[in-house]
Structure 1
Amino acid sequence: MSHAAVSPVLVIHGGAGVIKREMTPAREQAVRAAMSQALHDGYAQLKAGKSALDAVAVAIAVLEDDANFNAGRGAVFTHDGTNELDAAIMDGYTLRAGSVAGVRRIRNPILLARAVMEQSPHVMLSGDGAEAFAQSIGMPLVDPSYFRTDERWQQLQKALKEDAAKKPHADVETARHFGTVGAVALDAQGHLAAGTSTGGMTDKRWGRIGDSPIIGAGTYANSGCAVSGTGWGEFYMRTVAAHAICMKVTEMRVPLKRAAAEVINQDIPSMGGNGGAIALDAGGHISIPFNTDGMYRGWMGADGVAHVALYGDEDDGTAELPVPAPAESSAQP
């Protein structure tokens, strides 16, 4: 029985959190344009016959270069006024993975995470060591000032004032959960990949690391499922959220949408956390569960159209997605 060729799919997110219809039209337009650009550039890789891994890395790098997202250039500030970036990437076909945490001079952490996977014997490198590895493979370092944006600096000042007043963060969701970026992709060979990149939490202390660079927590892919999470990282770590979704799909045969909803909208909130995720299975089914006001999200499939949505009440098109036929049913007798 010959299997029909797989239609490639790319799904991206730019973070979940307090996303209300209050941003300026210019800001909203810039965010939508960046999401659309990431989808087009990533999908072009898939169309050219490149791997899911290539699509994920390219799409995330576009978002890392845009200051509207809490990753790369737009990373938030730590309590000490520095930027510490985390990223991970995973190849579902081989289960190879690469990750970096707490880097301060890497323009595109997702590309360094991929280099860790492909050019080192390790999975996860952190801080100065990760940057020394970057230099050893010829990846240029940027001056930390590259990451300094006035908007993020003001967010830190506000958080520090609230610290001093012993007030909980008034905009705790925005301060903490906003803007992680990620991508999941299915290529023409039927292989899946996932990646996530983040600047972490505003006002984070003591070298805090979230779920994004932790394989299985915020990022995971295997032969049947790929997931990138965004939300309150501590809860994604405690539930091993991305891995939990994929195990339900591949081992327990739970449909993707149900598997993702059970973890993101039941397990995590029951413990006091919140957030969202993008998930994709080997059949090309997409799931984008979230339990926050909104989530920057987008996807592109065979129609070559970039579908982008930001708000919770906005139709992102996934509800009406055609269910892909099983490969067997299109086999020639």
Structure 2
Amino acid sequence: MTKQSPPIAIAIHGGAGTIVREQMSLGLQSEIEQALSDAAQAGYKVLADGGDALDATVEAVKVLENCPHFNAGHGSVLTHDEMVEMDASVMHGRKRDAGAVAGVKYVANPIMLARDVMLHSPHVMLLGEGAQAFAKSLDYQFVEQDYFFTERRYEQLQSMKEKGLFALSESRYPDDKKYGTVGAVALDMDGNLAAATSTGGVTNKKFGRVGDTAIIGAGTFAENSTVAVSTTGMGEYFIRQTVASDVAARMRYLDEPMSVSCDTIIHGELKEMGGEGGLIAMDSQGQHHFSMNSSGMYRAVITPSGDLEVSIYAT
């Protein structure tokens, strides 16, 4: 009898929120779906080669950070001062090690820097200029702000400056009302769970605003015995609800199934507070769950059986 290999799996998201089907051209949808597929496959290759779950999530997120369609890395939204300030975090489930950066301006892939904070520093979170100095100490090649500039993000910023907003009230693009965080969760051959999340934040943000993405327990969480979670949505609400760690706590203390824990929070407590968004979760058997209280979430999964599934809309 052939010995069955341990399960491996990966799930990713590219943001949740109002995604208008009628405004989505076939060409744009195809490009987004291809990017989601590429990201999932990049992470899965690491797993299939025997690599660690954390490295798999970072590889997947890097693909999304490099794509202008997502609000992370290259496609990040602009602050009030027409800059980017990016946040990212990672967590490894074996010992619950974690790393995070916030307010990063010149690093093309903040998710890599978050992993390096975990691996090469005694800290969990580094901020702004300190995070940049840490990156420089590791010989990161910095990029100019022009690298992050896209016409779409500039148009969004000008529109919101005119209205005095930091969240879009009307849409030109099919996902302008989407919260563009990207993330991944994975299970490797050794039974390790990991999660990674990255974002450019919200358009027109001021005062060094930081959302849930950089905060362990709010936007990112992983522990091998229960679940790995990456969230996307209205960050202030996800912080207040400590969404990612709450999923694990409900599974741990109430013995709830993963899907029940996720949906109870996303469709119940979070929604009651006024928080819109969603999450991806994966348990120790490689089973996944997507939960959202919005009309869509860019997402993909490669299951333990090796099947690739890519989706955009809630229904």
Deviations 1:192-214 (A, max 9, x none): 00010000001111110000010
Q: Secondary structure at the match of 1:30?
A: helix
The answer on whether the counterparts of 1:162 and 1:169 sit within 8 Å (CA) in structure 2 is: no
The answer on whether the counterparts of 2:86 and 2:201 sit within 8 Å (CA) in structure 1 is: yes
Q: Do residues 187 (structure 1) and 188 (structure 2) align? A: yes
Q: Do residues 170 (structure 1) and 166 (structure 2) align? A: no
Q: What amino acid is aligned across from residue 94 of structure 2 in structure 1? A: Y
Alpha-carbon distance change, 168 to 100 in structure 1, aligned in 2, over 3 angstroms: closer
Deviation at 1:176, TM superposition (A): 6.4
Which TM-score applies when normalising by structure 2? 0.94
Q: Do residues 286 (structure 1) and 288 (structure 2) align? A: yes
Distance 1:78 1:216 in 2: 25
Q: What amino acid is aligned across from residue 268 of structure 2 in structure 1? A: Q
The answer on whether the counterparts of 1:225 and 1:250 sit within 8 Å (CA) in structure 2 is: no
Alpha-carbon distance change, 167 to 280 in structure 1, aligned in 2, over 3 angstroms: closer
Deviations 1:179-226 (A, max 9, x none): 210000011111100010000001111110000010000100012210
Distance 1:168 1:299 in 2: 29
Tell me the equivalent position of 1:325.
none
Q: Secondary structure at the match of 2:254?
A: coil
Residues 300-315 of structure 1: pairs in structure 2 closer than 5 A: 300-313=302-315
Distance 1:77 1:88 in 2: 20
Tell me the equivalent position of 1:256.
258
Distance 2:175 2:211 in 1: 16
Alpha-carbon distance change, 151 to 143 in structure 1, aligned in 2, over 3 angstroms: same
Distance 1:267 1:4 in 2: 40
Tell me the equivalent position of 2:86.
85
Deviation at 1:145, TM superposition (A): 1.0
Alpha-carbon distance change, 97 to 213 in structure 1, aligned in 2, over 3 angstroms: same
The answer on whether the counterparts of 2:166 and 2:204 sit within 8 Å (CA) in structure 1 is: no
Percentage of identical aligned residues: 43
Tell me the equivalent position of 2:53.
52
Tell me the equivalent position of 2:241.
239
Deviation at 1:81, TM superposition (A): 1.0
The answer on whether the counterparts of 1:162 and 1:168 sit within 8 Å (CA) in structure 2 is: no
Instruction: Return 22-31 or 98-107, whichever deviates more.
Output: 22-31
Distance 1:216 1:133 in 2: 23
Structure 1 alignment gaps of length 5 or more: 314-333
Deviation at 1:80, TM superposition (A): 1.4
Deviation at 1:303, TM superposition (A): 3.5
Q: Secondary structure at the match of 2:113?
A: helix
Deviation at 1:27, TM superposition (A): 1.1
The answer on whether the counterparts of 1:16 and 1:290 sit within 8 Å (CA) in structure 2 is: yes
Deviations 1:264-299 (A, max 9, x none): 111101111110000111022211010111000110
Residues 24-63 of structure 1: pairs in structure 2 closer than 5 A: 24-63=25-64
Q: What amino acid is aligned across from residue 6 of structure 2 in structure 1? A: V
Q: Cα RMSD over matched residues?
A: 1.8
Alpha-carbon distance change, 167 to 181 in structure 1, aligned in 2, over 3 angstroms: closer
Alpha-carbon distance change, 167 to 124 in structure 1, aligned in 2, over 3 angstroms: closer
The answer on whether the counterparts of 1:217 and 1:241 sit within 8 Å (CA) in structure 2 is: yes
**Equivalenced residues, count:** 309
Q: Secondary structure at the match of 1:270?
A: helix
Distance 1:167 1:279 in 2: 28
Structure 2 alignment gaps of length 5 or more: none
Alpha-carbon distance change, 201 to 167 in structure 1, aligned in 2, over 3 angstroms: closer
Tell me the equivalent position of 2:114.
113
Q: Secondary structure at the match of 2:292?
A: coil
Larger radius of gyration: 1
Q: What amino acid is aligned across from residue 271 of structure 2 in structure 1? A: P
Distance 2:227 2:76 in 1: 28
The answer on whether the counterparts of 1:175 and 1:201 sit within 8 Å (CA) in structure 2 is: no
Tell me the equivalent position of 1:68.
69
Q: What amino acid is aligned across from residue 192 of structure 1 in structure 2? A: L
Deviation at 1:7, TM superposition (A): 1.0
